[in-house]
Amino acid sequence: MPKHIQLLTVIGARPQFVKASVVSRALSKATILEDILHTGQHFDSNMDAVFFEELNIPMPVANLNAGGGTHGEQTAKMMVGIEKQLLEKGVGFYDGILVYGDTNSTLAAALVGAKLQIPIFHIEAGLRSYNRTMPEEVNRVLTDQLSSLLFCPSNDVIGNLAKEGITKGVHVVGDVMHDAFLHYQNNNTKLSPEIEAILASSFILLTLHRPSNTDSPEHLSAILENLKRVKSPILWPVHPRMQSKINSYSLPEHIKPVAPLSYFELLRVLSACNMVITDSGGLQKEAYWAKKKCITLREETEWVETVQCGWNHVVGHGSSSFNAALQTPLPKHQPQLYGAGDASERITSIIFNYFASNSK
Ligand code: UD1
Report the side by side order of strands in the sheet with 255-258: 255-258, 234-237, 204-207, 275-278, 293-296, 312-314
Residues contacting 116, CB < 8 A, separation 6+: 83, 86, 87, 91
244 against 274, higher pLDDT: 274
User: Does 214 contact ligand 1 (Cβ within 6 A)?
Assistant: no
Average confidence score pLDDT of the chain: 96
**Topology (CATH) of 6-175+340-358:** Rossmann fold (3.40.50)
Query: What single letter denotes the amino acid at residue 230?
Result: V
pLDDT in tens, 251-260: 999 999 999 9
Residue ranges, CATH 3.40.50.2000, the chain: 6-175+340-358, 193-327
CA distance 334 to 311: 8
Would you state the CATH architecture of domain 193-327? 3-Layer(aba) Sandwich (3.40)
Specify the pLDDT at position 48: 95
Q: Ligand 1: which of 241, 266, 285 to mutate, most ligand atoms within 8 Å of CB?
A: 241
Specify the pLDDT at position 250: 87
The pLDDT of 154-173, averaged and rounded, is 97
Long-range pairs, 192-196, Cβ under 8 A, ≥24: 192/258, 194/256, 194/258, 195/235, 195/258, 195/265, 195/269
**Where does the chain have alpha helices with state H?**
14-29, 49-55, 71-89, 104-115, 135-146, 158-163, 176-184, 193-199, 211-214, 217-228, 240-246, 263-272, 282-289, 304-308, 319-327, 343-357
Centre of ligand 1 to C-alpha 42, Å, is: 6
Query: Quick check: 220 and 291 in contact, CB under 8 A?
Result: no
